[in-house]
Amino acid sequence: MKTYKRELAIVLLVWLMYLVETKDAEVINILSWPILAAVFGAFGLDFWGKRVQPTQPSGGTNRVRDQRSSQHTVGTDKHTDLGDDK
């Protein structure tokens, strides 16, 4: 699911540029910190989530083993000669 956080951050930057051109300095002083915090948060968290944080499989832990059935250690000592009764 897409969250559109970066797209919203770009829209906020464009809106801030519009405010700089049309409004006075006091309005810009009030609104610049929340807007820039949202922009830096959107792009910084995206960077951290994709590159710094280790990735895990989508199913949580990897429970599938890469062993063949003859290499499994569970239950090998039980019933070793089950099919050889003649």
- Per residue in 15-74, pLDDT (tens digit) is 999 999 999 999 999 999 999 999 988 888 777 777 766 655 555 555 555 556 565 566
Tell me if 72 is assigned to some domain.
no
φ/ψ of residue 67, rounded to 5: -105, 150
The larger pLDDT score, comparing residue 45 to residue 78, is at 45
Tell me if 29 is assigned to some domain.
yes
Q: Residues 57, 60, 64, 66: what is their CA dihedral angle, to the nearest 10 degrees?
A: 40
**Residue 34: predicted pLDDT:** 93
The residue segments making up the domain with residue 45 are 21-53
User: pTM, whole model, 2 decimals?
Assistant: 0.53
- Measure CA of the first residue to CA of the last residue in the chain; give whole Å: 61
Q: How many domains does the chain have?
A: 1
Tell me if 74 is assigned to some domain.
no
